[in-house]
Amino acid sequence: MKVTVFDLRKNVNSESFVKAVEDHYKKMDGTTEVIIYNSMDTELKNCIGCWSCWWRTPGKCALNDEGYKLNKDYIDSDEVVLLFRTANGFIDGKGKTFLDRLIQHYLPYIKIRKGECGHLKRYDKYPVINFYFDKDGLSTEEAKVIKDYLVRTAYHFHSPCKEVLHENERVRFINAEAAKPMGEVLAEEVNERKASGKWVIYNGSPRGNGSNSKLIIEKIIAGMYEKGIADIEVRNLINVKEHKAWAENFGSAENNLFVFPLYVHAMPGSVMKFFEQLKPINNKAVHMAFLVQSGFPETSQSYYLRPYLELITKRLGVSFDGTIIKGGVEGIQMKPDKANQEFFAQLETIGRTYADKGIMDLALKKEYEKSEYLSKGAQFIFSLFSLTGLTNFYWDYNLKKNGAYKNRFAKPYME
């Protein structure tokens, strides 16, 4: 058996912990090979959403860093142990980036599982995922959100899952069962207000100005302009060099809206790297709101993130203005204007409502979340389209355009 330990906890002296993990496996089977990557070995660049791993170099990330070595051992292992540091109530940005970069191990093609879209396997087998996260300083709610999130991620990655507990210099591995995500925590506390002051809108897409998030922000701003809001600043979170300054003056803007795509059931790693730098403000005159968009049509995909977005406002001591989740967004840049007309009008409504009432539009929130899961009818239509190959058309088209179609099922980390 082969086991690889990825210690993703930066600036943590965890030699005794890692040794306890190694001893656990050695006692089980003296022939077990245990490979250990410490925190210095696991530095990865943020996923940039280029999709090269799906349609240019199938199965292999285009970023030039230590990722190839890490991912080769990941796929070649029977079990992996992921050790996460937490920050501001979630796994930190480094850990989130590690999970984002694992998407290359799956095909872009989709299969319906329990009313939800999921990526098909690229490899014949995947390792058991054993996870540990630091619980110091976490509330009970935050710890549940993180655990539920990691179990959900393992499910999406077609991997069995266990939680690692570290007690009295020993480790225990316990089965981690899938659970429904925590419901909204602070939604009932969202109240209309007379909004005033400066507005900062954060574009959390790794694609920056070439993203769907940018288009969404432009339409929201158009609606805000109609209500006379002029003091609006847009910040692209891919500009990581600005994170420190933005975090330090975060409390100077009364209204802060975050717009970003769903990456592996949560925010992109680059967004979490900003969140972890925020300090408690304890000023209810500062407000935060969120719009999470994803390519999957069903909103359930984002529900493992939703409670965290509320809890971070509680941790920072600021006011929560609501979260809107919108599925089915991928591809809007390829559609004719007429096809996007209704969606763009809705985004302008969100802008007007936020400017006028100081909250995210509750009617649109309710409308979007009607599509929590794919209906039986939608699943039937998807199955029919699958038989004809239409569900793969978008990906196959781009694979062919990039001369990579014949390698679409490549398994680069097994070669």
Are 2-175 and 187-371 the same fold in CATH?
A: yes
Q: Which residues pair with 240 in a beta bridge?
A: none
Sequence-ordered strand ranges (E) for 8-105: 33-37, 79-84, 86-87, 90-91
CB of 309 closer than 8 Å to CB of 266: no
Residue entry with tokens 């599925």 = 327
Angle at 394 (CA atoms; ends 393, 399), nearest 5 degrees: 95
Rounded Cα–Cα distance for residues 173 and 306 (Å): 28
Strand 2-7 with 79-84, pairing: parallel
> What is the maximal distance between C-alpha atoms in the chain?
70
- And the tokens for 245? 């300054």
Rounded Cα–Cα distance for residues 178 and 160 (Å): 10
Q: Which long-range contacts (CB under 8 A, 24 or more apart) does 108-111 make?
A: 108/51, 108/54, 108/55, 108/395, 109/391, 109/392, 109/395, 110/391
DSSP 3-state assignment of 236? strand
Cβ neighbours, 10 Å, residue 165 = 12
Q: Give the sign of the dihedral formed by CA 217, CA 222, CA 225, CA 230.
A: positive
CB of 216 closer than 8 Å to CB of 347: yes
User: CATH topology for 2-175?
Assistant: Rossmann fold (3.40.50)
CB of 120 closer than 8 Å to CB of 110: yes
Domain ranges of the chain: 2-175, 187-371
User: CATH topology for 187-371?
Assistant: Rossmann fold (3.40.50)
Helix axes of 140-156 and 306-316: crossing angle, nearest 10 degrees:
150
Tell the burial category of 136 from Cβ atoms under 10 Å away from its Cβ (0-12, 13-18, 19+): exposed
What is the pTM for the complete model shown? 0.95
CA-nearest of 50, 414, 95 to 264 is 95
Torsion-angle region of 78 (φ positive above 0: left; ψ -120 to 50: alpha; else: beta):
alpha
Beta-carbon contacts of 230 under 8 Å, excluding residues fewer than 6 positions away, are none
DSSP 3-state assignment of 297? coil
pLDDT of residue 382: 87
Residue entry with tokens 């097994």 = 414
Q: How many Cα atoms occupy the beta-carbon half-sphere of 87 within 13 Å?
A: 21
DSSP state of 182: P
Q: Please report, in tens digits, the pLDDT of each residue of the chain (415 residues total).
A: 999 999 999 766 677 888 889 989 988 888 899 999 988 888 899 999 999 999 999 999 999 898 999 999 999 999 999 999 999 999 999 999 999 999 999 999 999 999 999 999 999 999 999 999 999 999 999 999 999 999 999 999 999 999 999 887 789 999 998 889 999 988 888 989 999 999 999 999 999 999 999 999 999 999 999 999 989 999 999 999 999 999 999 999 999 999 999 999 999 999 999 999 999 999 999 999 999 999 999 999 999 999 999 999 999 999 999 999 999 898 787 778 888 899 999 999 999 999 999 999 999 999 999 989 999 998 988 888 888 888 899 899 999 999 999 999 999 999 7
Terminal-to-terminal C-alpha distance of the chain: 19
Sequence-ordered strand ranges (E) for 50-192: 79-84, 86-87, 90-91, 106-113, 116-121, 128-133, 161-167, 170-175
